Chain A
Amino acid sequence: MVLFVIFCPIVAAIVIMAGAPARKTALVASVLAFAAVLFLLVSFDRGHHGFQYVTSFTISPEWHLGFTTGIDALSLIMLLLATIVTLAAVWFTGTVEKYENAFYACLLFISAGTIGAFASIDLFFFYAFHELALIPTFLLIGIWGSGNRVAAAWKITIYLAIGSFILLLGLILLYQSFPASSRSFDIRALTAAAGLGEITAEAQHHVYLLLLIGFGILISLFPFHTWAPEAYASAPAPAAMLHAGVLKKFGLYGLLRLALPLVPEGARYWTNLLVVLLVGNIIYVGLVTIAQKRLDRMLGYSSVMHMGYIFLGVASATILSATGAVVLMFAHGLSIALLFALAGELRNRTGTLAFDELGGLAKVMPFAGLAFGFGVFAAIGLPGLANFAGELMIFFGAFKNGWEMEHFHIFQIATMLALWGVVISTVYMLRAYRRTFMGALNERWKEIVDVRFSLRIPIALLIGALLCYGFFPQSFVQILAPSFRTYLVAGKR
């Protein structure tokens, strides 16, 4: 089943390149993948906390290298996110002016790459699948982007290639730092070995730093974030949806999947650095977001800022905060995809996303206004939408970290700054909403029509998922928390 989810988009992409009708094939493939993940979600054994649905093709028994896939709670949730956003992105694509087939194939390759990375239990394929997803992202921006697309494509290519390279160095170093007898590409075997303390503390420090920077660049950790707003502003909406919504989560997934269980001592050693950087994400980038004058750049910066909250959950490394981080990864992926999709629709109609030229659009586009409102309020953590559940767990988990009565330490201060960040994001999100959809309608936009009916279905899917897990976060929490229990502690005092 997991293999089907991975290969469904790949096969579809190949068929499309061979000349099959692009949109139909892509839609069918993404619906099938989504349905398969729903099936996995239902049939997932909630009492079992390791990997399930494991299939393995050994490539080299000597090196313990093999194409091994499977899912645990974390992977399952990421697969759900990936297939929902893929479906929405494909649905939102519509007709493409040039090289339509290639466009759809690129989207499906991104999807397959992220799904493959999330479902790989093998270190090599974990990395390789991510690379598979990155390349079509560059192409999408470079070929089909808008504005200064070539410069943006180069920048993101260079930046993320460097990130991947540093990550690769980190992974190699990680592999090496195991004693020869327990070296393996199997993440399960590595986790077990690391649990026995087979990596020296010093090696862990080096490995974690490389992983943090490598993954950090991919996630747009401050100060490695400047590629993101530019790339998202130039990218076609479906590419921005897939990258900001799903592909960017690969780095966070990697930190949770590899860094925390394999090099916990390294994580502890660099905690303070990470906390300082993530506060940079939240406060510094948050303030930069306030100063933005265009909707697409504002959304790009806001997605960078919100990574700070997920980093806070990762840095705090307790069961509560890590669970919150995963819920927020899921929720943020959906909400940012929703916002980018609608911003793309706006751009199609108005040709501009500068705040000064917009305004009052809810009058002519009531549905878009409502849907964008959901995205805005999801992003600023309104209860009832899944983002709030994630943020809440992160705040509680992080605030507890290192708590001492009447003394505030780094995590308490960071949590309070993160809470102030909620105010900051309220400011920029509501301002943007105000300047785009509310107020007096500009005469130029009198004739604009609302989002057409067929496009309301993917929007409803995104909002529905946000609401579903906002009201019932427990359905994630009950499978996530036990699986984190194997390598995280309940709380640190």
Chain B
Amino acid sequence: MNSTLPWIILLVPLASAISITLFTLRSKTVSCFISVAAVLVSFACSCLIFTQSDIAAAEFTWIDIGGAFKVPIGFTLDQLSKTMLLVVSGVGAIIHIYSLGYMRDDEGKSRYFAALSLFMFAMLGIVLANNFVMLFIFWELVGFTSYVLIGHWFFRNAAANAGNKAFITTRIGDFGFMIGILMVWMATGSILFSEVGPRMALLASHPAFLTVTALLIFCGAVGKSAQVPLHVWLPDAMEGPTPISALIHAATMVAAGVYMLVRVAFVIQASQTALLVVAWIGAITAAMAALIATQQNDIKRILAYSTLSQLGYMMMAVGLASNNAAMFHLFTHAFFKALLFLGAGSVIVMLHHEQDIWKMGGLRRTLPITFVTFVIGALALIGCPPFSGFFSKDAILALAYERNMAIFIVGLITALLTAFYVVRLLVIVFFGNARSEAARESRESPFVMTGPLILLAVLALVGGFGFFARNFLALPIEKEATSLVQGVALVALIVGSGLAIVIYRNRTSEPIDVEVLRHKFYFDEFYTWLINWTQELLARVFAFFDRWIIDTAAVDGSSRGTWGLGALLRLIQVGNLQAYLFLFGLGVIAVIYFAVFR
């Protein structure tokens, strides 16, 4: 039984996705029942596995070329993956249930739940992977399900474009990731985490190689976790249904990059240079996304930039060589960010798919449960004690204070900005007066949606306390410097939220206009320009060349020009079968001639 548990966790969602696609696309109720049941089974088995210590699951051989190259589908079952299993299947289960309400009247409900189940399969596969190739396989699959779900409303141009952008951008990261995997394989002769780790010492004499390898692997995480410069897809991904934004683009898949780096920390931590790059990419992402978030007006996009920013914190922790701090923040972030997105979803649905925060206002009266839970999520996000985000963000800041002062300062500024834009969001959406008809007439969501909110709010509340989190994670060690860091962070928090309250209280439109932030530092414009002048230009030039030089001039020209060939062609251009058969017959005769007379 024990040895089959991981297989059940992994395969039940896959079975759900397959059976929905094959049999129940027409009957939506059955589809969502199958999908929810599957995720609950996975969650229950994850809980069972969590309580057991020695589990050895059988491997499946995916490819084995007689020793030279072997790819098993096998499992790593340590504290890290067990906790991650709980987070993924737990948050997944909550969001499945919430989706029952959110997607109630959707035409493509069966497709949605099939893709959701497939996502669970892929994400759980990443968590359980015991080798690089298996990790990569499921890594690609989550990207695929993300593409499908972002484009769920594929008939909307924006959603269709966003899906493509997400998939292509992450593939650019995976380009580096795959080369990194190849280099690890070449250098150590293995792809198994358990074998590569001990063999990293072999590489000590090749520091440059090691750094390049580590950074290439990091590329994968840059794409998947939407770090600068590949962050551009995540805000656009908000075109997908909101539960998807909560599950895939906040709590789990985008955090998979962080999880992967923690899983292969033996590669990343072997190179100081690589660590420094990771930390700085994280810091830059954190600060930049927070800056952009202050000027956004779409409730989901604000949350998307805050996800970028928080992922930046996690990367910072990875770069500061603390797996524990990174995982701790991943853990708490999964709860409070999923909570915030689901809360936003509740607002959006009750306002008939209005996402502009300036058309909301005063919602604390009409959506009381959503309001209270959203505030809990928001306080956790800005790191207000004693909410969960306080503990985990504080751990990262303390770490930065100890190891890299410059990064600490960036982290602190980000904390201030976070408080600013989150409180801005709260003030505009929930306080003041309703600024639209929809906002005035809104009502609270049904229990199938508020239930998950309450559950997540509880987790966001207690998730950071040692007595709770210690059961799941190895917590970062508390240092003496902490009290100083805590004090400074609190000051940043108060300054940020105070500023936001002062500026945005009773406003009906944006008083500040910073163009460079509204245009997100012109990344999209720059990339469009870049692609037009490289890929598209080359494509056009080559297409022209192919058509007019290789095809017309070289092929037709040379064939017409050569007399001998020309005669041959005339023979064929007679256009009938006989001529060709004659040519073929000549060939046969030639074979026989050479065979017999030579």
Name the CB-closest residue of B to A441. B155
CA A291 to CA B538, docked complex, whole Å: 9
Contact between B66 and A481, CB atoms less than 8 A apart? yes
Contact between B141 and A290, CB atoms less than 8 A apart? no
Min C-beta distance of B356 to chain A, whole Å:
22
Contact between B594 and A172, CB atoms less than 8 A apart? yes
The answer, among A168, A370, A473, A491, for a CB contact under 8 Å with B62, is: A473
Contact between B580 and A161, CB atoms less than 8 A apart? yes
CA A472 to CA B185, docked complex, whole Å: 22
CA A423 to CA B531, docked complex, whole Å: 13
Instruction: Report the interface size for chain A: residues with CB under 8 A from the other chain.
Output: 85
The answer, among B138, B140, B156, B186, for a CB contact under 8 Å with A403, is: B186
Min C-beta distance of B554 to chain A, whole Å:
7
Within 8 A of A (CB), among B523-567: 535-536, 538-540, 542-543, 546, 550-551, 554-555, 559, 565
Contact between B168 and A176, CB atoms less than 8 A apart? no
Contact between A423 and B171, CB atoms less than 8 A apart? yes
Known: A157-B580, A172-B590. Contact between A438 and B141, CB under 8 A? no
Instruction: Give the one of A168, A226, A420 with max B CB within 10 A.
Output: A226
Min C-beta distance of B141 to chain A, whole Å:
6
The answer, among B136, B151, B595, for a CB contact under 8 Å with A438, is: B151
Contact between A223 and B536, CB atoms less than 8 A apart? no
Known: A383-B141, A423-B171. Contact between A158 and B572, CB under 8 A? yes
CA A187 to CA B111, docked complex, whole Å: 52
Contact between A377 and B144, CB atoms less than 8 A apart? yes
Q: Mark A392-408, 1 if CB is under 8 A from B, else 0.
A: 11011101100101100
Interface majority SS (helix, strand, loop, mixed), chain B: helix
* Cβ contacts under 8 Å, A176 to chain B: 594, 598
Contact between B539 and A288, CB atoms less than 8 A apart? yes
Contact between A382 and B554, CB atoms less than 8 A apart? no
Min C-beta distance of A344 to chain B, whole Å:
23
Min C-beta distance of B579 to chain A, whole Å:
10
CA A478 to CA B65, docked complex, whole Å: 7
B521 interfacial by beta-carbon distance below 8 Å? no
Contact between A393 and B69, CB atoms less than 8 A apart? yes
Instruction: Give the one of A287, A363, A389, A431 with max B CB within 10 A.
Output: A287
Within 8 A of A (CB), among B58-98: 61-66, 68-69, 71
Q: Which of the 9-residue segments B159-167, B325-333, B343-351 touches chain A?
A: B159-167
A362 interfacial by beta-carbon distance below 8 Å? yes
Within 8 A of B (CB), among A202-240: 223, 226-227
B462 interfacial by beta-carbon distance below 8 Å? no
A268 interfacial by beta-carbon distance below 8 Å? no
Contact between A360 and B155, CB atoms less than 8 A apart? yes
Within 8 A of A (CB), among B1-45: 21
B573 interfacial by beta-carbon distance below 8 Å? yes
Q: Which of the 9-residue segments B172-180, B309-317, B506-514 touches chain A?
A: B172-180
A53 interfacial by beta-carbon distance below 8 Å? no
CA A323 to CA B64, docked complex, whole Å: 11
A269 interfacial by beta-carbon distance below 8 Å? no
B208 interfacial by beta-carbon distance below 8 Å? yes
Known: A405-B209, A438-B154. Contact between A175 and B594, CB under 8 A? yes
Contact between A434 and B160, CB atoms less than 8 A apart? yes
A474 interfacial by beta-carbon distance below 8 Å? yes
Contact between A172 and B591, CB atoms less than 8 A apart? yes
Contact between B550 and A226, CB atoms less than 8 A apart? yes
Contact between A223 and B550, CB atoms less than 8 A apart? yes
Contact between B591 and A474, CB atoms less than 8 A apart? no
B577 interfacial by beta-carbon distance below 8 Å? yes
Q: Mark B136-153, 1 if CB is under 8 A from A, else 0.
A: 111011001000000100
CA A404 to CA B164, docked complex, whole Å: 37
CA A406 to CA B584, docked complex, whole Å: 52
* Cβ contacts under 8 Å, B501 to chain A: none
Min C-beta distance of B9 to chain A, whole Å:
18
Contact between A396 and B182, CB atoms less than 8 A apart? yes
Contact between A382 and B140, CB atoms less than 8 A apart? yes
Min C-beta distance of A391 to chain B, whole Å:
10
B477 interfacial by beta-carbon distance below 8 Å? no
A319 interfacial by beta-carbon distance below 8 Å? yes
A and B contact pairs by CB, cutoff 8 A, 27 listed: A138-B580, A154-B572, A157-B580, A158-B572, A161-B583, A172-B594, A183-B595, A223-B554, A226-B546, A285-B546, A288-B539, A290-B535, A291-B536, A291-B543, A319-B68, A323-B65, A382-B140, A388-B140, A393-B69, A399-B182, A419-B179, A422-B175, A423-B168, A426-B168, A439-B156, A473-B62, A478-B64
Residues of B within 8 A of A (CB): 21, 61-66, 68-69, 71, 133, 136-138, 140-141, 144, 151, 154-157, 160-161, 163-164, 167-168, 171-172, 175, 178-179, 182, 185-187, 206, 208-209, 535-536, 538-540, 542-543, 546, 550-551, 554-555, 559, 565, 568-569, 572-573, 575, 577, 580-581, 583-584, 587-588, 590-591, 594-596, 598
Instruction: Kindly list 17 other residue pairs between chains A and B, CB separation below 8 angstroms, not including A171-B591, A291-B542.
Output: A131-B584, A168-B591, A223-B550, A287-B535, A287-B542, A288-B539, A362-B154, A363-B155, A377-B144, A396-B69, A396-B182, A405-B209, A426-B168, A426-B171, A437-B154, A438-B151, A473-B62
Top 9 nearest A-B pairs by Cβ distance?
A291-B543, A438-B160, A226-B551, A383-B137, A290-B539, A291-B539, A438-B154, A287-B539, A399-B182
